[in-house]
Each structure stands twice: as C-alpha cells, then as structure tokens.
Chain A
Amino acid sequence: MRKISRLSRFNIASLALGLAFLYLPILILVIYSFNASRLVTVWGGWSLRWYHELFNDRAMIEAAWMSLRVAVSSATIATLLGTLAAVALSRGERFRGRTLFSGMLYAPLVMPEVIAGLSLLLLFVALNAERGFWTVTIAHTTLTMCFVAVVVQSRLSSLDRSLEEAAMDLGCDPLRAFVAVTLPLIAPSIVAGWMLAFTLSLDDLVIASFTTGPGSATLPIRIYSEVRLGVKPEINAICTLVIALIAMVIVIASLASKLSSSQGESAAPL
C-alpha cells in the first residue's frame, strides 16, 4: 500500500479545522489592533492610532519593561539551574534523594499556578522579603527551571553516551568531556529551554500577581486589569506587540537549532 493513501479525507478535514481553530482568533486580534475605529466591532480602515496611544501609556510601558527584565533574568537563571538538574538526572546514575529531586522538578509542570503562587508568597512574607522584581524573578525561575530541565533531559537521554565515554577513554576528564562533547550536542535544547522559560515568564499572570508587590506590576497583571473592564483597541495593540516579540523569539530559536543541527542531530522545538 502506498503511504499517501493512509491520509483520508477525514484526516485532512480535522487537521484543517484544528489549525484554523488554533490560529483564527489570534489573527483576528492582530487585524483589529490596526482598526482605526474605537468600536472594536466596526472596521474603520487601517491605522496605527492604538500603537501611538500605547506609547503614551506610561503604566503599560513600565509594566512591559518590568516583565522583560523579569523574563530575561529568570530565564537565564532557570536555564543554568535546569541544565544542571537535567545533567544530574540523566548522567548521575543513582544518588540519595533522587526520587524527591525528580518529583520536585516534574510536579510544577502541571501544578495549578494558584498553589505555587500562594505558597511562594507565604515564604516571602515569612522571610520578610520586600516584594517586587526579585521575588517575581525567583518565583518564575522556580517554575521555569522545571521546563528547562525536562527539555534538556529529553535531549540528553536520546544522546549516544558512547560519545562522551569515548572522549574520556581518550584521556579527557569528565568536565572536559562534558564541555567538549556533550555541551555542543545539547546546545540547541538549552537554547530552546531558555526561550521556553522566557515566554512562560512573560506570559505568567497568576504567580506574578501573588509574588509581586505594590507598584511593580508586570505586563500580564496590567493587561488583566484592563481586560476585566472590557475590550479596548489599545489592548489589541499591546497583545499584537507581545505576539510579534514571541514570534521573533521562536524564529531565532529555530534558526539557532537549525544552525547547530547541521553539525549534529536535529532538535525538537520542545
């Protein structure tokens, strides 16, 4: 039987409908951000009016700046810690407390955010920490390092371990073998992990609401409080900008993994 014939009409229809369902709402949102009319439902021609208004909205810009700073710092720390955790789990063989360690790393992937947010806030209050940039960064690092760990670990477990073992048989010490052989091979997944951590942090509303302090709202907190009051074209504009930023991040990530996959195997984006 030929391979092509496996694809039935039903398969094609469900794929097309599924993708339309996933993309149309975002597309509509982007289109309406360029609408000249204040009424979100009436098309008044193309315009950049809402982007202009956005740049005069100081609170929004401050929130965006705060979110970017948190996202870059938490993604960077999370990538470092998550990669270390992945190396320990996939190359450390057995060690004491391993079950607890992997448990702590996998649970936050699905744990409801309200629980994580509340528990971290209670810790910060008990420590008497001033809430703001650092508390949100720590909270986001804790959550996103788990995602980084999973992404890097799945890459590490698919790697051929005889490569690093060969390097050691040829006289490398473990650190040198790791840096010279393993690290270049897992680099695309580390980049992907950073990008994932960055977007997750940029996106988070619940955990940031719990762990931030007065006067330091992140972008999602700001957007959320506006959205509760109804649809506004300015919100469409800021959402479009965020989507553009994330799209850029994805393109860079896939280019990076393409570049390095020409040297090694290809890496999945997630």
Chain B
Amino acid sequence: MSARRIFARPARLAAIVPYVWMVLFFLVPFGFVLKISLSQTAIAQPPYEPVFDLTAGWAALKPAFAALSIDNFSLLASDDIYVFAYVRSLTVAVTATALLLLIGYPIAYGMARLPKRWQAVAMVLVIVPFWTSFLIRIYAWINILQHDGLLNQILLALHLVSQPVVWLSTDSAMYIGIVYSYLPFMILPLYATLAKMEPALEEAASDLGAPPWQVFWLVTFPLSLPGVGAGVLLCFIPIVGEFVIPDLLAGSNSLMIGQTLWLEFFTNKDWPVASAAAIVLLMVLLVPLLLYERLQKRQLEQGR
C-alpha cells in the first residue's frame, strides 16, 4: 500500500469530531428553524406552540402533523411588507455587487500590475481593513456622513453645496457602507486571477495591433471571469441577508429581509414568522450558495 493511502486512514479519522460538531450546530438547527416556521405563534416563553414532541412517542406524531401549518409562509407571500423586503434585498444586493465590481476591478487590476515585491504589500493593505471590525467601519462612516460631519464640512467649505446634505438614513449612505465593507471580498479573488494571468497574452494582443481597450475587453476580462464569479458570489450572498449596514445607514421606511427577520424576532417576538422568513431567504440563496460551494471546492482541491 502506498504511503499516501496509509496516511489517508488516520486523516479521515480527524474528520469525526468536526463532523459531529457541524452536524449538531449547523445542520440540526436548520431542522428547528423548519419546525418552528411551521408552528403557530403563541404568547408564551418560548413564543410558539410546540408542534411535535418526540418524547411523546409515535402515537403523538399524527395529531402533530395535522397541527403543522403553512400559515406563516402564506403570511409572507401575502403581506406586502415581506414581499417588498425580498424584492428590496435582491435589488440592493444586485446594485451593490455591480458597484463593487466596477470599483474593485480597477484596484485589483492595478495591484496585479505592480512589481512583485509591491504586490505583497498591496495585498496586506487590502486585507487589513477586513480584519478590523465590521461594526467599527460602519461607525466610522456615521462619523463622516452625519449632519455636521466631515463630508458636509468639506462640501460646504468648497462651496459645492449651500446647506448640509442629508446623508444618513439614505440609500446612498447604505451603498457607501456596503461597498466599503465588502470591497476586500471583491478585490482579493479578482486580484488572485489577474495576478496569475500570463502577461505575454496581453502583450501579444497589443503587438498584433489591438488598442488598449480591446486588449482589456477581448483578453484580460474574459480570462479574469473565474475571479469575477468568485468575487460576485462572495459579495452578493451575504449582502442579500445583510442586517447591520442597512439598519445603521439606511432609512427605516423600506427594510431589507435581514432587518425584517430581526424585527420579527426581537421586537415583535414572532419566532415562527422570523423562522419562515429565514427559510425563504435560504431558498432564495440556495442556487448561489451551491455555486459558491462548487467554486470553493474546486479552488481548494486543485492542488490534488
């Protein structure tokens, strides 16, 4: 037997503990979300009617199944608040991802063209803000965007505006916050593909007479598509369920689904509806999530 095969057996055993952990704390909880999304709201602690109790045995299962209700889901489909929240979440995520691509691409492209020694420095500089707290970075923008904040002071001093502009509680503030927070997630996968690209390909295209924009559009961009895909998924999926940024920077008159879920759960204490909202959110994200997993797997296992 080869050394590789002998090594594989104990390596497989290493999976046991993390496997059990993930099943217990990642997979099983989804069962509870599903179960509670099908139960009735109750004024109790915890605030829902128990749907089934396994300790009661199989005999109790039949009435339990009869008691399951899809009321929460029909509520989500019929109430405009929820429908709007889903539509808005998707619109915001698509717009923000497009902005991120437009802003992130030139930066990643610039990084990939730096001399090798400087590339490592630039990469660290892009990663460091990702390590700093998410909440703090949003707070930093509240400082700048508030009524008498730095941005308005600069605009007033330059006589670009005559009165302070309202930035906070607007969609522009939210988009600034999202772009700011997710930019490293867009830049890094783009940079990774751009840096691996063979420079001779671009040089060949331009030697054959292609103007720079054509070199970019016909050679560079198509070759960077795997990075574009990774960056888009890495930003789009979490933005759809984003809570903190819209909550702190956007106005409260149109909510995203993450905010609705939070509101139902913490303010209205309606756990069944919150659970149903989570299930629908998961369904919406299922396809992008599966795409992302395939991508991640291919990337991590290509060395094999």
Interface residues in chain A, defined as those with a beta carbon under 8 Å from any beta carbon in chain B: 1, 3-4, 6-8, 10-12, 14-15, 18-19, 21-23, 25-26, 28-29, 32, 39-41, 81-82, 84-85, 87-93, 95, 97, 101-116, 118-120, 122-123, 125-126, 138-139, 141-142, 145, 149-150, 153-154, 157-158, 161, 164-165, 168-169, 174-175, 177-178, 195-196, 199, 202-203, 205-206, 209-210, 220, 223-224, 227-228, 230-231, 235-236, 239, 242-243, 246-247, 249-250, 254, 268-270
Per the 8 Å Cβ criterion, residues 251-304 of B in contact with A are: 258, 261-262, 265-266, 271, 274-275, 278, 281-282, 285, 289, 292-293, 296-297, 299-304
- Complex CA distance for A101 and B22, rounded to whole angstroms: 8
The residue that B22 contacts in the complex, of A15, A109, A142, A209, with Cβ under 8 A, is: A142
Chain B residues with CB under 8 Å of A88's CB are 11-15, 18-19
Contact of A93 among B12, B132, B282 (CB under 8 A): B12
Q: Does B180 belong to the interface (CB within 8 Å)?
A: yes
Q: Which of B140, B146, B282, B301 has the most CB of A within 10 A?
A: B140
With both chains docked as a complex, state the minimum distance between the C-beta of B188 and any C-beta of chain A, in angstroms: 7
Q: Contacts A119-B33, A250-B128: A168 and B139 contacting too (C-beta < 8 A)? A: no
Instruction: Give chain B residues whose Cβ lies under 8 Å from the Cβ of A242.
Output: 132-133, 136
A to B CB contacts below 8 Å, 16 in the list: A15-B107, A26-B129, A32-B143, A41-B153, A81-B17, A88-B18, A91-B7, A110-B237, A111-B289, A119-B33, A122-B36, A149-B18, A157-B302, A165-B4, A247-B128, A268-B123
B191-217: CB near A (< 8 Å → 1, else 0) gives 000000001000100000000000000
Contact B132 A243 (CB under 8 A): yes
A89 to chain B, nearest CB (A): 8
In the bound complex, residues from chain B placing their C-beta under 8 Å from that of A158 are 303
Give every chain B residue within 8 A of A236 (Cβ-Cβ). 143
Which of chain B's residues have a CB closer than 8 A to the CB of A196?
A: 131
B84 at the interface (CB under 8 A from A): no
Q: Are A123 and B11 in contact (CB under 8 A)?
A: no
Tell me if B8 counts as interface (CB < 8 A to partner A): yes
From the candidates B12, B139, B293, B303, name the one contacting A227 in the complex (CB within 8 A): B139
A-binding segment of B58-66, B70-78, B239-247:
B239-247
Contacts A95-B12, A206-B244 given; indicate if A106 touches B143 (C-beta within 8 A).
Answer: no
B56 beta carbon closer than 8 Å to chain A: no
Bound Cα distance from A113 to B135, whole angstroms: 14
Pairwise interchain contact A150-B300, C-beta atoms closer than 8 A = yes
| CB neighbours of B292 from chain A (8 A) | 106, 109-110
For chain B, residues 1 to 49, give those with C-beta under 8 angstroms from any C-beta of chain A: 2-15, 17-19, 21-23, 25-30, 32-33, 36, 46
B21 touches which of A41, A112, A145, A199 (Cβ 8 Å): A145
Q: Which residues of chain A are near B113, meaning CB under 8 Å?
A: 6-8, 11
With both chains docked as a complex, state the minimum distance between the C-beta of B143 and any C-beta of chain A, in angstroms: 6
User: Smallest Cβ distance from B105 to chain A, in angstroms?
Assistant: 9
How distant is the Cα of A246 from the Cα of B137 in the complex, in angstroms?
13
A22 and B183 within 8 A (CB)? yes
Closest 4 CB pairs of A and B: A112-B241, A157-B303, A88-B15, A119-B29
Task: Flag if B33 contacts A118 (CB, 8 Å).
Answer: yes
- In the bound complex, do residue B125 and residue A224 qualify as a contact, i.e. CB atoms below 8 Å apart? no
Chain A residues closer than 8 Å to B36, beta-carbon distance: 122
Given A28-B140, A243-B136, also A87-B11 (CB < 8 A): yes
Known A-B contacts: A18-B106, A112-B238, A177-B7. Give 12 more (CB < 8 A). Answer: A22-B129, A22-B184, A93-B12, A104-B22, A107-B26, A112-B237, A141-B21, A178-B7, A195-B131, A199-B132, A231-B139, A236-B143
Contacts of B29 in A (CB 8 A): 119-120, 122-123
Q: Compute how far the CA of A255 lies from the CA of B224 in the bound complex, rounded to whole angstroms.
A: 32
CA distance A81 to B26 in the complex (A): 14
Docked CA distance A144–B133 (Å): 15
Contact B23 A104 (CB under 8 A): yes
Contacts of A268 in B (CB 8 A): 123
Residue in A closest to B128 when the chains form the complex, CB atoms? A250
Question: Of the candidates B9, B107, B149, B233, which one forms a contact with A14 in the assembled complex, judged by CB atoms under 8 Å apart?
Answer: B107
For B123, the chain A residues whose CB sits under 8 A away are 268-269
For the complex, is B178 an interface residue (Cβ under 8 Å from A)?
Answer: no
From B188, which residue of chain A is reached at the shortest CB distance? A270
| A11 / chain B contacts, CB cutoff of 8 Å | 106, 109-110, 113-114
Which residues in B have their C-beta under 8 angstroms from that of A3? 115
- Minimum C-beta distance from A7 to chain B (A): 5
**Contacts A112-B238, A142-B22 hold; do A28 and B143 have CB atoms under 8 A apart?**
yes
Shortest CB distance A138–B (Å): 6
Task: Give Cα A205 to B131, complex, Å.
Answer: 15
Q: Which residues of A contact B106 (CB under 8 A)?
A: 10-11, 14, 18
| Chain A nearest Cβ from B191, distance in angstroms | 11
- Tell whether B94 is near chain A: CB-to-CB under 8 Å: no
B120 to chain A, nearest CB (A): 9
Give bound CA distance, A206 to B134, whole Å: 11
Please measure, in the bound complex, the distance between the C-alpha atom of A98 and the C-alpha atom of B123, giving whole angstroms.
33
B142 cross-chain contacts in A, Cβ below 8 A: 227, 231
How near does chain A come to B132, taking the closest CB pair, in angstroms?
Answer: 6
> Are B139 and A93 touching (Cβ within 8 A)?
no
